Amino acid sequence: MNYSMRFKIQSVYAKLRPSEKLVADFLLLHMEEAEEYSLVRLCGEAGVSQPTVIRFCKALSYDGYRDFREELLKENAQRKTVGEMEVHPLFGLRISEGDRLEEVPKKAVLSAMELMEKSLKYISASDLEKTVKTVKNARVIDIYGVENSNTACFDLLNKLLYLGLNARFFSDSYLQHICAGHLTREDTAIAISYKGRSRQTVESLRLAKESGAITIAITSDRNSPILAYADIPICLGEEPSEVYGNAIFSRTTQVAFVDMLYVGLILSDYKYFIKKLDISSKLVEGKEL
């Protein structure tokens, strides 16, 4: 797995033109053999024109296809030198009865890395900007989620409170429904659900939308029912895998997006939020042993 090149492609994917995305999609699936492709052959395999491939290369900050191919060759060569460090592509933590304990750290880290890199393909700067603006201007920020998503919910709550924003999260789904039913047009509701199919979370966001609040859904399934009630849909993937390991690593991309939102809020009004963070830090001074 060529993580560096893959990372570059996925990090710009949302900004690419439709024809350039065809090049990206092909390369993400054929990273190793593509190092042998001429410009003409790559165009034929991806079904695009030569100018499209050149634009794609420039979008990754290369001067042209030659520079891109040389970098790909170099990185593939480096990858081959680590040999035993390479693991088959993981879409979850693949384990079997015969696995050894010493293999777990490598598998776990690579699984998390792949999910993180894949999420870059789906997160657009415009969606993040809308989310930052909405959360920043909200009177009240409700957060909804259950089970594994609670990790991201509590992390988001903690970060928003440190920024001096009026956020709340209850792990009790009944209380989530009650809060949602009392929101107004001045408020925002954020639902976090890996598959977007948790009945309690979907219902909370539906109630919030009916109350007039601006709704945000963070999920990994573009076809999930929760998106029907989201004014701002945030998709962290194409669709969730059924592999057991993804239930473990679902929190990885969720928490990563929470960090993106947190940094985005700070950058939206740097002096104001740094002052708020200073106040919050002083309030908890002396609480650690």
**Mean pLDDT computed over 54-67:** 88
**Mean pLDDT computed over 87-113:** 62
**Mean pLDDT computed over 86-104:** 57
Q: CA 187, CA 229: separation in Å to the nearest integer?
A: 15
Model pLDDT, residue 4: 66
> What are the tens digits of pLDDT across the range 211-238?
999 999 988 877 788 888 999 988 887 6
CB 118 within 8 A of CB 256: no
Residue 248 predicted with pLDDT over 70 = no
Model pLDDT, residue 94: 57
Model pLDDT, residue 159: 94
Q: 34 pLDDT band (50/70/90 cuts)?
A: confident
**Mean pLDDT computed over 276-285:** 88
Q: CA 69, CA 37: separation in Å to the nearest integer?
A: 8
Across 2-6, 30-34, 113-117, 129-133, the highest mean pLDDT is recorded for 129-133
Considering the chain, what is the average pLDDT of its residues?
Answer: 82
| 1 or 220: which leads in pLDDT | 220
Token pair belonging to 6: 């893959």
Model pLDDT, residue 88: 42
Q: CA 112, CA 11: separation in Å to the nearest integer?
A: 16
Q: Which domains does the chain have, with CATH numbers?
A: 1-84 (1.10.10.10), 116-285 (3.40.50.10490)
**Mean pLDDT computed over 38-62:** 89
Model pLDDT, residue 126: 83
